[in-house]
Amino acid sequence: MEIYQPSDDSHLFANFLKKYLKFHKITSYLDLGTGTGTLSKTALKFLPPKNILASDINPNAIKALQKEKFQTIQSNLFQNIPSKFDLITFNAPYLPLDPREPKSSQLATTGGKHGDEITLKFLKQAKQYLTPNGKIFLLISSLTPTDKIKKLWPYKVVARKKIFMEELLILEFN
């Protein structure tokens, strides 16, 4: 199973996270869907390693980060997550299903038939893993439908970047 390699979305998210952590004190951070660990590595500049948990469904991503001495857990969303966090980030698979895309990369890119299914499942579970003043930052695309997301949990857009035929958005939930 291939590990999702950093791209425009990862770089946008890492730059946003760097600015956020520079001005906000947090003590516990969950990087859900960590992939190569771009966001965990960014957080390492502001938090001790013991305060960062990197999680991914992909066992290869977990093995790679364990070699770099990160605290990791293999988990399908919150399935194996043991505690609550001040900050949760999720660079979610957000694209609608494209049957032309190779199956090997769909796990990292496809959010379901419409593109919002994994995001909705994530948000339904996420509240119970946040500390009382905790925040979630979630990255999606303008190709991801947001009507159900808005109904489930109101959010504000805190960062955006136009690329090709879509716009990447970082949403804040608290």
- Is there a domain that residue 138 lies in? yes
Whether 104 is in a domain gets the answer yes
Q: Is residue 70 part of a domain?
A: yes
CA 25 to the chain's CA centroid: 19
11 versus 2: the higher-pLDDT residue is 11
Answer yes or no: is 2 within a domain. no
101 pLDDT tier (thresholds 50, 70, 90) = confident
Whose CA is closest to 39, among 91, 81, 1, 78?
91
pLDDT value for 12: 97
pLDDT, tens digit (0-9, with 9 covering 90-100), for 142-160: 989 899 999 999 999 999 9
Q: Which CATH number does the domain housing residue 41 bear?
A: 3.40.50.150
Predicted pLDDT at 107: 64
3-state percent helix, strand, coil for the chain, nearest multiple of 5: 35, 30, 35
What predicted TM-score, i.e. pTM, was given to this entire model? 0.91
> What's the structural domain count of the chain?
1
- Distance separating alpha carbons of residues 19 and 21, to the nearest angstrom: 6
* Residue 3 maps to a domain: no
The mean predicted confidence, pLDDT, of the chain is: 91
How would you label 135-148 residue by residue, b for 16+ Cβ within 10 Å and e otherwise? bbbbbbbebbbbee
In this model, does residue 29 exceed pLDDT 80?
yes
Euclidean distance between CA atoms 15 and 19, whole angstroms: 6
Supply the range of the domain harboring residue 41. 8-173
Contact 107, 58 (CB under 8 A): yes
When pLDDT is cut at 50, 70 and 90, the band that residue 96 belongs to is low
Distance CA(47)–CA(144), nearest Å, equals 31
Q: Is the pLDDT of residue 111 over 70?
A: no
- Residue at 29: amino acid letter: Y
